[in-house]
Amino acid sequence: MAAHHTRSNSLPSRSHPFILEFDEQLCRLKASPASSISHRLNGFQDLLECVERFLLLPLSQQALAQECGDKWINELLDGSLRLLAECGIIKDALSQTKERTYELESIMRRRRGDDLSFMTEVRKYLASRKDVKKAMNKALKVKESRSTDKNSEITPAAVNMLKESNAVSIAVFETLLSFIVVSKSKSNHWFSKLVQPKRVACEEVEDTNELEKVDVALNSLISDKSRKFDYTIELENVQCLLQELEAKIQDIEERIEGLFRRLIKARVALLNIFNH
């Protein structure tokens, strides 16, 4: 992504407060790839607010209407649709995981941990996670296979701003997809910790995400190795981790829902501009 934007005379100057804020939000998101999910989603929300205001500026609307040929119109509309699709995939994955998490918590409150129905629910959860991971990996592969536009044609300034915003948005969604997909090597590392003959407290695995913690803990429960150690203590760990996961999913879901609404508004704004 180019760090410098070549802006047309139709747009506010580079020193305009709005343009400065837009550039600042872009730079923040680009410069913080290792930030927490919550931090990145906050930054993404701020960026989409900028995009929303940009599309409401009369000068921006005029620039897009006058400077965009069919190529740019199609690219921007396709980009907005792709963002909505990726956001929808993430929403579905979180919803499915939350439902299974709730069912697992519910049965743990009603029955003993070694009850057959509980172990059945654990396997259902893990099977559901496999399905979710498969969908997320497919989405990631589709992203990787997309070719980068290397056309030397000069991009209109208004289009360039929206393209940069889309590129950063896709990077944030990739972070979320990666959060949902847990790497096998990391899972194996934490599995080895969980099957040690001592209690592994929730806070001992702070540098991994909540989904990964639950995956590892549940695989430990259904493993023969785990029977060598205190099963009751492992159940307490699982309950702790499930509560953390439920809270995390709830937080991300609320943020994603807000982002989804803003993406819809941005697409509607583009359609209105190009249809006039």
Residue 225 forms part of a structural domain: no
Residue 203 forms part of a structural domain: no
Which residue matches tokens 């889309």?
166
For residue 202, the model assigns a pLDDT of 43
Residue 220 forms part of a structural domain: no
For residue 90, the model assigns a pLDDT of 93
Residue 212 forms part of a structural domain: no
Residue 214 forms part of a structural domain: no
Closest C-alpha among 76, 73, 57 to residue 10: 57
37 and 175 Cβ atoms separated by less than 8 Å: yes
State the total domains in the chain. 1
Which residue matches tokens 């589709």?
142
The rounded percent of the chain whose pLDDT value lies above 70 is 74
Domain with 27 in it: 17-181+254-275
- For 106, residues 6+ apart whose C-beta sits below 8 A from its C-beta are none
Residue 97 forms part of a structural domain: yes
| For residues 191-200, average pLDDT | 44
Residue 5 forms part of a structural domain: no
Half-sphere exposure (Cβ direction) of 169: Cα atoms closer than 13 Å: 28
User: What sign has the CA pseudo-torsion 256, 262, 267, 268?
Assistant: positive
CA distance 164 to 2: 8
| For residues 171-176, average pLDDT | 88
Prediction pTM value = 0.79
Report the mean per-residue pLDDT for the chain.
Answer: 79
Residue 52 forms part of a structural domain: yes
List the single range of 73-77, 134-138, 270-274 with lowest mean pLDDT.
Answer: 134-138
